[in-house]
Structure 1
Amino acid sequence: MSDTPPDRLSSNPKSPHYNAAALERGVGVRFKGVEKNNVDEYCVSEGWVRLTIGTTLDRKGNPMTMKVQGSVEPYFKSPAPQD
């Protein structure tokens, strides 16, 4: 695995952008220069993040989210495993 996080990543296993290997390493996200810990999904090339809103759930039991535009800087919290 490379040292740069994917361009688009989701923490929802039902999403086509879900990547278990990247999430195991731990991905941190800086949005507009501020560290965010409630990011559900992000896209660097399109410049947006989807943030969870508290503990509110929709009618299907998924967390409520809000899409916000701005600069996105993902990074890995742990180094790549060495073989």
Structure 2
Amino acid sequence: MLTSTLLAVTAAAAPLQWSPTVGAIMVVCNILAIAFGKSTIKYPNAEPAVPASNFFGGFGLPAILATTSFGHILGIGVILGLHNLGRI
């Protein structure tokens, strides 16, 4: 019973297709996450360092991974929320 209900709910939802709008939202969310990380991470240049760190705002590898991971989580939430509202 539960399986058939779950299948009915997932089949009724319109699939989300990638578009330039979705990509732009993800880029903006990552930029916001990096800006947030730049102002809140205590040691942004922790080891291991990345090559040409001036291209990454002086971040070390841990800070880059943390901010971009947070940006993707934020972006997924925004994209799915806007999709569920019917905006994208």
TM-score computed with the length of structure 1 as normaliser: 0.23
Mark the structure with the bigger radius of gyration.
Answer: 2
> More helix per residue: 1 or 2?
2
> More strand per residue: 1 or 2?
1
